[in-house]
Structure 1
Amino acid sequence: MKKIINDPNLVVRDMLDGFVAAYPREVRLLPGTTVIARVDAPAANKVGLVSGGGSGHEPAHAGYVGEGMLDAAVAGEVFTSPTPDQVLEGIKAVDAGEGVLLVIKNYTGDVMNFDMAAELAEAEGIRVEQVIVNDDVAVEDSSFTTGRRGIAGTVFVHKLAGAKAEAGGTLAEVKAVAEKTVKNVRSIGMAITPCTVPAARTPSFTLEENEIEIGIGIHGEPGIERKAIVSSDDIAAELTEKVLDDLKLETGSEVAVMVNGLGGTPEMELYIVNKKVNEILTSKGIRIYDTFVGEYMTSLEMAGVSVTLLKLDDELKELLDAKSKAPAFRC
C-alpha cells in the first residue's frame, strides 16, 4: 500500500504540524502535546469545548477547532484514543473559569480516557461535564464499543454545542444543547474498499471486488451485511431508510442532512447519493433545512459514504446557522 508519508511512526506529529502551518490565524499546537487549540483559548467568560479521538478521521477533529465550534481537539495515534494526560492538557488550555464540556464518541478507549482526564481536571478545580455521541444505527455493540458507535453525527454536536458556548451559554446550557443534538441525530455508513493504517501496511479488512459492506464503522469495524455491490440509488435508499426507521420522523419534520465521504470517495459520487436522499425525504414530506455534502468524518482512504439526519427545532436551526470560523466548517 503506497502512502505519501515520511516515518509511519510520526504521521500524527507531521500531520499536526502541517495543519497548524495551514491555519496559523485560527489554531496552535500546544508545545509537547497532541492538542490543537484556538489561538485565543481560553476565551474569557466562555465555556470551553473539547473533543478528539484517534487520528485518521480528518478533518475530524482538529478541523473543527475555531470560533463557533471547538476550543481544542486532542489527537491520538491513528485509530487510537488520546491518552488521559493529553486530554487533560486540552481541558486546562481552554478553561476560563466557566467549565469545560467534553464531546466524546462512543468508543471504549475514548470514553475511558476522557473520563479519567475529567477526574484529573476536577481534582485541579476545573468543572467538567461530558456528552457521549452514539449516532450509528447499524449495530448496538462492536469490537470497539459497548452500545452504539459515534460517527459523523458528532460533527453536528460540535457545531451546535459550539455555537451555544460562543453565544455565552452556561456549562449546563451547552451540555443541554449537546444532549439534545445527540438525541436527535442518527447515522449509518457503508464501504466499498478498506483502509490501511500507515504503520500496519496492510488493509484493516478485505472486501472482494464486487462486495460492499453496510453499517461498517469508521475504523473498519464489521457492519450488518456484506453483499454484492448495487447502484448508488439502492445504497442511498438502504442507508436513508435505516436512519428513518430509527429516528421516526413525522411528516413535516425539518432535518439537516449530511452525506459524508469516508476518505476515498469522489464528490461526484457523494452528490449522486445526496440526490436520492433528497428525493426520499421529500417524498415522505420531510423538509430539508440544510444539506452538507463532503468529507467530515473519514477513515483514512476508505471509499464509502455515510448518511446522517439531524431532526431540528427552532433552537437547533438558529445554532446551526450561527457563524463558524473552524477550518473544516466555515459558515
Structure 2
Amino acid sequence: MNLPSPRTPDPLHAPPLNWGILAPGGIAATMVEALQRFTRQRVVAVGSRSAERGASFAQRFGIGRVHDSYEALVADPEVDAVYVASPHSHHRDHALLAIAAGKHVLVEKAFTRNAAEALEVVDAARAAGVACVEAMWTRFLPTTDIVRQLLASGALGEVETFTADHGQWFALDPASRLFAPGLAGGALLDLGVYPVSYASFVLGAPTGVVARGTLTETGVDRQVSAVLTYASAAQSVVHTTLAARTPTVAAISGSEARIELDGPFYTPRVVRLVTRDGEVHESAPPVIEGHLGLCHEAAHVAQLVADGASESPLLPWRETISVMETLDELRAQVGVRYPGE
C-alpha cells in the first residue's frame, strides 16, 4: 500500500512578498533562515523596540532596513506583510497595528491571549481585506497533508482516539516570558496549543472539555492534561508541561488503522500507517526538515495574497477562534487568568 503523496506546493514556487519582521527573537530568526533558504520571499525590514537588537538581527540576515518602533515598521511602504513574533500578550495589539496599516499578517501561535482577542483581529482583517493567518505552521506541512488525505479517504475507519503530548523543560525564571502572567506565559499557549490545534484538525471543535493541571509559583500553568469529547464517540487526550521533555508524539486511532507521528509530531515527519492487522506503511522522509518547515506557512500566505484571498482554507478563521476557545476553557479549569483579561 502506498500512502498518498503530499499536495503541498514547493514553497519556492510561491510568489514573493516583501516581509517585515515584528520582534526579532528566536522564532523570528528561524523563520528568516527558512525563508532565505527555501523560498523567494524577501525580508526587507525588521522592527524592534531595541535599536541594538534590531541592527544585530538585520546584520545577521542581510536585512536592509531597521525600524526602532513597530509603528515605523508597519508604516514602511516597502513592506507587504508583517510576521508578528512578539509574546502572546501582544499579538492582538501588534496584529491590529499592522492590519490598520493595510499589511497582511502572519501571527505567531498562540494567535492571541484568548478567543475574544482573536475575534477582534479576525474582524479587523475581514474589514480591511488583508490576509490574516495564524502561524500554526504544522497545518501547512506536507506531513499534515498526507494525514489530511488519509482522514478524508476513510483509511482509518471510524476515528476513535487522538492522543498527543508536548512537554519541554525550562528552568524556572520569573523574568522569562514563559513564566510571566503579564506576557501570557504558561505551557498551554506556548506548547499545549500544538496538541490542541491538531486535535481540532482531526476531530473538529470539542463539545466537552475536562482538564486537570498544576501551576508554577508565578501563577501560570506548569502542566495540563485534558480529555476532549465530541459529538461522535471519539475522544482526544492531550498533555503539556513546562517541566519535563516528553516524547512529543501523536497518534490517530480508528477502527481500521492508526496513524503514528514520532516526536516532535508537529514538525515535518514520516507518516506511519498501521493497519488493524499490523501491516505498516510509511511515507517518504520530508524534504525540508525540522523548524525550517516554517517556510511553508509564509509561502501559503504569499499565495493567498496573490490569489486575492484573506482567509486560509487550511486553517480558517473560525477554527483559529475555536482553538482559542478550547484553550480559554482549559485555562479556566486549571485556574489561570492573565492580568487585564
Query: What is the TM-score with the length of structure 1 in the denominator?
Result: 0.34
Q: Larger relative contact order (C-alpha < 8 A, sep ≥ 6)?
A: 2
Q: Which has the larger radius of gyration?
A: 2
